[in-house]
């Protein structure tokens, strides 16, 4: 049990670490308010529920350590755990829950009642449980109006819902799981980002590679697309069930043989599960967030599901669309006091954002930091844990305020050393090793295990100032002309044939009142939101509406819809693939 307390400190993102500590404090308070045997953990094997499992273990370990009982704690210290078995559960989810149950001594009670409300009523009456710990997050369909401590809804048995990770984001969850190196359900390594049942869950098409296989869930660049793989196969829509089955078969073709057989086996009940989902209010939705409650047949969840089915239909039905919508994530760290003081206008971040987007990468963060080692280290460490590539700009010269290398070395836990390859190149450029001053040698410093990426100048000669790469971090200079020069070499490294570029359509309107177009934008976002990003930007002489997507067909359909919905004669111009709204 004490092992979890040791690995919490390995969380690189200070924001996630603070959230974890806050969640543990919430759980400890729960343990103080209720007897442990009157608290139950709703464990369903999803990613959020898995985070919660280990936060619970940490809370119980801290509680027992405070009593001097750190030695022989098992399970959750007397807290109950339960799991509702459903006919359309993934075999991988069942196996993971059973494995965690055994590994951590959870003594999970497996409930088979298919009427969820009745099963919960029976469980509470039999156990006397007063509080249920859940993995609900703000973005979940049933999270509206909930707080960390939230009494059950009217019409349900009386108990306290405890939501310790309510304010966590999708990326927070994956920072925690990857930093702590705890086991999680194997489906997440094969493109699933949100788990329901076999009949309503597909791999996320945003992670689909051209060969039909999928990137792992933690590579999802935009957390807003977490539930893209969740569909609602209504009983009257037999083709939808067939679509789910076909997608599972296509997915299984890319798994190891044993796992593929398991996936096909669990998918076998998809059609039956789809038929059983009729009924609107009271229909069970088995969310990966571990929430307890009945889903409404209408509302946000149903709308999102309907949109997902529509998106699949636009892709031609069956397995996910052949056009890859795979996106990789990048973060940019711009270093310099002169930028934060407003003395210098930044051009580097804008340039890098445009260039990365043209390659099909999505920039998820741009952070400006001062010339301060600890600030640089903290930001780089956090971003390197969530983005597939981090690019820094600035702070790598010979003067006292050039401290980027020190910050990165601290971030990755490597000593700052003089890199022999850099010293050699400095000596060649400045006229021999004897000519090198301490200022020259400072530019030869870097984290001990940095890689040097050489590139050629416009005249064909190799540059004496290579790009430094440390893990997934690339270090560029802050001088714009030098950054552009080095970017030419880095760009080819980041180019990936699997990534389609982002395309856009820009409509310039004569209107000046955004409220007049808000309904049209909402309508288009509702219809195409899984494929197309919709934006509106007021300017001095009107409004600019932007539509962005990797899916050309979806973009065309969105353009047609928005043009039809906007007031007549309001569109002054329609432009394609612009890189500036000015």
- Contact present, 532 and 555 (Cβ < 8 Å): yes
What's the mean pLDDT in 328-348? 95
**DSSP string for 484-526:** HHHHHHHHHHH--TTPPPPEEEEEEES---GGGTHHHHHHHHH
pLDDT at 72: 61
Tens digits of residue pLDDT in 53-82: 999 999 998 888 877 776 666 789 899 999
List phi, psi (to 5°) of 317: 75, -170
The pLDDT assigned to 17 comes to: 92
Q: What pTM, to 2 d.p., does this model score?
A: 0.70
Contact assessment for residue 396 and residue 475, using Cβ atoms and an 8 Å cutoff: yes
Antiparallel, parallel or unpaired: β 416-418 and 149-151: unpaired
Averaged confidence pLDDT in the chain: 83
Structure letter (DSSP) for residue 206: G
* Long-range CB contacts (within 8 A, 24+) of 102-109: 103/183, 104/53, 104/57, 104/75, 104/76, 105/74, 105/75, 106/41, 106/43, 106/53, 106/75, 106/76, 106/81, 107/75, 107/80, 107/81, 108/43, 108/81, 108/82, 108/83, 109/80, 109/81, 109/82, 109/83
Residue 538 pLDDT > 90, yes or no?
yes
pLDDT digits (tens, 9 = 90+) for 443-496: 999 999 999 999 888 888 888 999 999 999 999 999 999 999 999 999 999 998
According to DSSP, the β-strands at 451-453 and 467-470 are antiparallel
Phi, psi of 135, deg, nearest 5: -100, 30
pLDDT band at 320 (very low <50, low <70, confident <90, very high): very low
Max CA-CA distance within the chain? 84
Q: What are phi and psi of 5, to 5 degrees?
A: -65, -35
Domains located in the chain, CATH noted: 1-180 (3.40.50.620), 329-493 (3.40.980.10), 503-576 (3.30.70.2860)
The band of 172, judged by pLDDT with boundaries at 50, 70 and 90, is: very high
pLDDT tens digit string along 554-574? 999 999 999 999 988 899 999
pLDDT for position 248: 55
Query: 281 pLDDT band (50/70/90 cuts)?
Result: very low
For residues 118-131, give the mean pLDDT. Answer: 94
Buried b or exposed e, range 544-578, using 16+ CB within 10 angstroms = bbbbbbbbeebbebbbebbbeebeeebbeeeeeee
């Amino acid at each position: 049990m004490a092992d979890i307390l040791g690995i919490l400190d390995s969380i690189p993102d200070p924001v996630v670490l603070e959230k974890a500590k806050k969640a543990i404090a919430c759980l400890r308070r729960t343990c103080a308010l209720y007897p442990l045997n009157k608290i139950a953990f709703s464990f369903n094997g999803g990613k959020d529920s898995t985070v919660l499992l280990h936060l619970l273990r940490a809370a119980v370990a801290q509680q027992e350590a405070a009593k001097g009982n750190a030695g022989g704690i098992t399970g959750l210290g007397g807290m109950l755990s339960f799991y509702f078995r459903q006919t359309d559960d993934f075999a991988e989810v069942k196996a993971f829950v059973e494995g965690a149950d055994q590994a951590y001594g959870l003594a999970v009670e497996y409930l088979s009642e298919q009427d969820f409300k009745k099963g919960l009523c029976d469980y509470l009456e039999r156990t006397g449980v007063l509080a249920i710990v859940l993995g609900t997050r703000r973005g979940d369909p049933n999270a509206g109006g909930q707080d960390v401590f939230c009494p059950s809804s009217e019409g349900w048995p009386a108990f306290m819902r405890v939501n310790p990770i309510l304010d966590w984001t999708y990326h927070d969850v994956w920072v925690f799981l990857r930093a702590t190196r705890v086991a999680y359900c194997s489906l997440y390594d094969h493109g699933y980002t949100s788990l329901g049942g076999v009949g309503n869950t597909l791999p996320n098409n945003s992670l689909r590679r051209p060969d039909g296989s999928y990137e792992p869930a933690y590579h999802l660049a935009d957390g807003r697309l977490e539930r893209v793989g969740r569909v609602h196969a209504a009983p009257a829509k037999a083709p939808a069930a067939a679509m789910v089955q076909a997608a599972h078969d296509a997915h299984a073709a890319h798994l190891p043989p044993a796992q593929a057989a398991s996936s096909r086996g669990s998918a076998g009940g998809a059609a039956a599960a789809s038929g059983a989902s009729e009924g609107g209010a009271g229909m069970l939705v088995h969310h990966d967030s571990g929430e307890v409650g009945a889903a409404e047949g209408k509302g946000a969840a149903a709308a999102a599901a309907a949109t997902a089915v529509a998106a699949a239909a636009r892709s031609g039905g069956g397995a996910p669309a052949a056009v890859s919508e795979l996106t990789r994530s990048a973060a940019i760290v711009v270093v310099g006091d002169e930028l934060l003081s407003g003395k210098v206008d930044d051009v580097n971040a804008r340039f890098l954002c445009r260039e990365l987007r043209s390659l099909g990468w999505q920039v998820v963060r741009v952070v400006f930091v001062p010339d301060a080692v600890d600030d640089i280290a903290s930001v780089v460490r956090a971003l390197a844990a969530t983005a597939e590539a981090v690019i820094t700009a600035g702070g790598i010269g010979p003067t006292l305020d050039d401290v980027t290398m020190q910050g990165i070395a601290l971030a990755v836990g490597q000593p700052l050393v003089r890199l022999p390859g850099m010293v050699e190149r400095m000596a060649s450029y400045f006229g021999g090793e004897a000519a090198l001053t301490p200022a020259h040698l400072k530019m030869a410093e870097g984290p001990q295990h940095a890689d040097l990426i050489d590139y050629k100048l416009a005249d064909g000669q190799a540059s004496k100032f290579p790009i430094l790469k440390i893990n997934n971090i690339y270090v560029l200079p802050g001088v714009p002309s030098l950054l552009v020069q080095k970017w030419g070499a880095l760009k080819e490294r980041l180019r990936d044939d699997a990534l389609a570029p982002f395309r856009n359509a820009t409509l310039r309107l004569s209107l000046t009142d955004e409220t007049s177009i808000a309904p049209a934008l909402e309508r288009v976002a509702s219809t195409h939101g899984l494929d197309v990003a919709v934006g509106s930007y007021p300017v001095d002489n009107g409004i600019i509406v932007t539509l962005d997507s990797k899916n050309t067909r979806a973009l065309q359909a969105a353009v047609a819809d928005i043009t039809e919905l906007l007031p007549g004669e309001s569109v002054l111009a329609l432009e394609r693939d612009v890189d500036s709204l000015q």
